[in-house]
A and B are shown apart, each in its own frame.
Chain A
Amino acid sequence: MRRLEEELRSLLKREEPAEGFAERVLERVRDERRRARAPLPFHTSSRRWRPLWAAAGVMLCALLGVAYAGYRARKVQRGEMAKAQAIEALRFASTELNVAFQKALVNGPTHRSPRD
C-alpha cells in the first residue's frame, strides 16, 4: 500500500506548463478586454442594447395603440353620420309617401283596370 502511494506521488508530481504560459494568459485577457471595448454592430443583442430595444418596443406598442384608437373613433363617427343620413332619408321618404297617399285619397282612383 505504502509503495503504491509513493509511486502515485512520484507519478502525479506537479509539472509546469510550457514556457510563456503567464504571457499567453495575459494576452488572452487583453484580447477579451479589447473585444469588450470594441463598438458593437447595431443589431447586436448585447446587454447594453437591451434597455434601448425594450424602450423602442414600448414606444412602438404605444404608437400602434394610439393609431388603432384613432382609427376606431373615426370609424364610429362615420357610422353615426351614415346612420343620421339614413334616418333623415327615411323620414323624407315617409313624408313624401304620406303626401302622395293623401292626394290619392282626395282625388280617388285615376284609372280603372280593364276588368272593372
Chain B
Amino acid sequence: VAKAIAWDEPMDVEPNSIDETEFAAIVREHQGMVFSIALHVVGRRDLAEELAQEVFIQLYRHIRSIESPVHLKFWLRKTAAHRAIDCARREVSARWVSLDGIDEPIERSEGPVEEDPFAKQRLQRLLASLAPKARMIVALRYQEEMEPREIAEILDMPLNTVKSSLQRSLALLRAKFPKPLEGVRS
C-alpha cells in the first residue's frame, strides 16, 4: 500500500506555524469527505485510508499556501481526487472489472438501494467497471453534490468533457442496473 502512493517531497523541519490541535481539528472536519472521495474511486478501505492520510500530510506541508476555508476544501477535494485517480489506475491493471462480465439486468424489489444488498453490490460493481476518471466524476457529482463546472475545475478538465462523461456513465449504469419490480416492496 505504501508503495502505491508516491511521496512528493521531504518535509521541512518546521513547515508551518499551525499547532497540532488546530491541524487535528481540520483533519476531523474533513476526514469524511477526503476518505469517501478516495473510497468511492479506489474501492478498498485500507487503500482509501492510506490515501486520505497522505492527502492530510501533504496539506500539513502546504498549509501556509491555504488562503481560506473555501480554498482549503477545494485543495483537499482536488488533491484527493487526483491521488485517488492515480491510485485507481494502478489498481485497475491488477483487477479489471469488465462490463461484459456483469449479467444483464433483472428486475428487483422496489425500495432504496441500501435496503437491497444485492442491488447495492451490483451498483458498486457497475461503478467499479467505469474508468477511474469517470468514476471520480460520478463520485464528485453524487457524493459531494458538485456541479459539472466545479468538477471540471477540480479535475482540470473542459466542462463539456465532464458533462459528456457524466452522461455516458449514467447511460451505462441505467442500461445495466436492474429496474425495480413494480408492485413488490421489500
Chain A residues within CB distance 8 Å of chain B: 1, 3-18, 21-26, 28-29, 32-33, 35-37
Task: Name A12's contact: one of B31, B40, B119, B180 (CB within 8 Å).
Answer: B40
Look across to chain B and name the residue whose beta carbon is closest to the beta carbon of A4. Answer: B174
Binds A, one of B6-14, B69-77, B91-99: B6-14
- Given the complex of chains A and B, what is the CA–CA distance between A29 and B20 in angstroms? 9
Within the complex, what minimum Cβ distance (angstroms) separates B137 from chain A?
A: 12
The answer to whether residues A4 and B173 also contact, given A12-B40, A17-B31, A36-B10 and a CB cut-off of 8 A, is: yes
Interface string of B47-67 (1 = CB under 8 A from A): 011001100110010000000
Q: Does B113 contact A (CB under 8 A)?
A: yes
Q: Does B1 contact A (CB under 8 A)?
A: no
Note all chain B residues with C-beta closer than 8 A to A4.
170, 173-174, 177
Look across to chain B and name the residue whose beta carbon is closest to the beta carbon of A46. Answer: B10
Q: Does B88 contact A (CB under 8 A)?
A: no
Task: Name B112's contact: one of A7, A16, A22, A26 (CB within 8 Å).
Answer: A7
Q: A5-B170, A17-B48, A18-B49 are in contact. List 11 more A-B contacts (CB 8 A).
A: A6-B112, A7-B119, A11-B142, A12-B138, A13-B36, A16-B35, A17-B35, A21-B49, A29-B20, A32-B57, A36-B13
- Given the complex of chains A and B, what is the CA–CA distance between A105 and B39 in angstroms? 118
Binds A, one of B21-29, B79-87, B153-161: B21-29
Across chains A and B, which 5 residue pairs bring their CB atoms closest together, nearest first? A12-B143, A8-B142, A22-B27, A17-B35, A7-B113
Note all chain A residues with C-beta closer than 8 A to B180.
3
Within the complex, what minimum Cβ distance (angstroms) separates A100 from chain B?
A: 87
Which secondary structure dominates chain A's binding surface?
helix
- Given the complex of chains A and B, what is the CA–CA distance between A27 and B87 in angstroms? 23
Q: How many A-B contacts if CB must be within 8 Å?
A: 96
- Given the complex of chains A and B, what is the CA–CA distance between A5 and B60 in angstroms? 35
Look across to chain B and name the residue whose beta carbon is closest to the beta carbon of A8. Answer: B142
- Given the complex of chains A and B, what is the CA–CA distance between A33 and B40 in angstroms? 31
Q: Would A11 and B57 count as touching, CB distance under 8 A?
A: no
Note all chain A residues with C-beta closer than 8 A to B49.
17-18, 21
- Given the complex of chains A and B, what is the CA–CA distance between A22 and B120 in angstroms? 29
- Given the complex of chains A and B, what is the CA–CA distance between A21 and B31 in angstroms? 8
The answer to whether residues A21 and B11 also contact, given A11-B123, A12-B142 and a CB cut-off of 8 A, is: no
Q: Would A14 and B53 count as touching, CB distance under 8 A?
A: no
